Structure 1
Amino acid sequence: MKLREQLLREHSRANCLKVVEWVGDSPVRFAELIELFLKDEYRVVQLAAWPISYVVESHPALIRKHLPKIIKNLERKDTHPAVRRNTIRLFQHIDIPEKYQGTVMNLCFEYVCDPTEKAALKAFSLTVLENLSKQYPEIKPELKTIIEERWDTETPAFRSRAKKIMKKL
């Protein structure tokens, strides 16, 4: 498969799953997908984001060596919303190494508090923060406060995820 051409073929779930199946558990193919995600033109980056999160959900070990680049990319302020959304989505499914936990935690808090961010990114961020609160129980009060403060101004998607998380906290 010519990965770049396949990504550009169409933006659909079926095409995403075709790419995910092709990558499988191959570190070489995953690295090729990551390369496009980090360095190609805007449209290719956007299209690569979705399959990356699905591959990581099935094969979380594949992301480990790419985490420094992925996090550095996430810290940029000009990343496409699809890149942020799918990067945070994949963090729901992995054990984030300790040296990156603070950065990921800070980014997730920023996303949850930003009124301009999309609901899906906020929902994924809430889940990542809830997962991290198991190791860092001291963030639970802050997470609860933010959820309570944002409750009336957020979308039903945010409130649905927040309600489940509040029960766990």
Structure 2
Amino acid sequence: MNLKESLPEYNSQTETKRILHWIDGSPQHFADLMDIFFEGNTRKNQYAAGIMIHCIDRWHFLITPYIERLILNLQNEGLHDAIKRNTVRVLQDVDIPENLHGIIAEICFNYLKNPAEAVAIKAFSMTIIDNLTQFYPELKEELHFILEEQFPFQSAGFRSRAGKILKK
């Protein structure tokens, strides 16, 4: 299958199932999907991001070779929220290499501080930072300050995730 040509620009459950069946845990087929994901900032990239999540939910091992590239991609300006959201969603559940801790911490803190950032991106970012506090306990103070500062003004989803982190 030529995934680039057959991937629709719209979200379709039927097409998603067909593509997931084709990928079926294959690193080579997943690589085709990730090529589309990293290729730009179009509707196909956004759709590929959604399929990536379904793949990782089923075949977690597939994401390992892409962790660094996912993080570095977040440094690009003007990424669509779907790309950012699905990337940080994946990164909250993986072991991030130590040499990338500083980069991802900075990215996630910037997302948290940005009032225009989507709630889901902020929620996944706070989890990534919370995960990093295992290695860098000094990050807890800054994370807690930001969460407490924003807590009264954010959505229920933000407050729920922030409340769990603040209770730790």
Q: What's the TM-score once normalised by structure 2's chain length? A: 0.89
- The worse-fitting range, judged by mean Cα deviation, of 82-91 and 124-133 is 124-133
Question: CA–CA distance in 2 between the matches of 1:116 and 1:9?
Answer: 26
Question: Are the structure 2 counterparts of residues 133 and 17 from structure 1 closer, same or farther at C-alpha, using a change threshold of 3 Å?
Answer: farther
Q: Is the 8 A contact 1:56 1:93 kept in 2?
A: no
In the other structure, the counterpart of 2:125 is 125
Indicate how the Cα distance of structure 1 residues 13 and 101 shifts in structure 2: closer, same or farther if over 3 A, else same.
farther
The alignment's C-alpha RMSD in Å is 1.9
Contact 1:6–1:15 at 8 Å: present in 2 too? no
Q: Is structure 2 residue 55 aligned with structure 1 residue 59? A: no
Alignment-derived partner of residue 102 in structure 2: 102
Contact 2:10–2:44 (CA under 8 A) maintained in structure 1 = no
How far off is 1:71 after superposition?
2.0
Q: How many residues align?
A: 168
Write the distance in 2 (CA, Å) between the matches of 1:93 and 1:101: 14
Verify: 1:148 aligned to 2:148, yes or no.
yes
Q: Which has the higher helix share?
A: 1
Whether the 8 Å CA contact 2:108–2:129 is kept in 1: the answer is yes
1:156 to partner: Cα distance: 1.3
User: Given the superposition, is the C-alpha separation of residues 137 and 57 from structure 1 closer, same or farther in structure 2, using an over 3 Å criterion?
Assistant: farther
Aligned to 1:72: 72
Residue 101 to residue 148, structure 1, CA distance change in 2 (3 Å): same
Distance 1:21 1:106 in 2: 37
Deviates more, 1:69-78 or 1:142-151: 69-78
Identity of aligned residues (%): 38
Q: Deviations over 1:103-131 (max 9, x none)?
A: 11111111011000000100111111111
3-state DSSP of counterpart to 2:7: helix
> C-alpha separation between the residues in 1 aligned to 2:41 and 2:114?
26
- Write the distance in 1 (CA, Å) between the matches of 2:83 and 2:36: 12
CA distance in 1 between counterparts of 2:96 and 2:159 reads 25
Letter in 1 for 2:20: V
Contact 1:119/1:157 (8 A) holds in 2: yes
Cα distance, 1:104–1:156 mapped onto 2, change above 3 Å: same
The residue aligned with 2:30 is 30
**Residues 133 and 41 of structure 1: CA distance in aligned 2, closer, same or farther (over 3 Å):** closer
The answer to whether 1:8 aligns with 2:8 is yes
Indicate whether 1:116 and 2:116 are aligned: yes
Q: CA deviation at 1:74?
A: 1.0
Please, which moves more after superposition, 125-134 or 28-37?
125-134
How far apart, CA to CA, are the structure 2 residues paired with 1:84 and 1:161? 18
Gaps of 5+ in 2: none
Return the offset for 1:46. Answer: 0.8
Structure 1, unpaired ranges of 5+: none
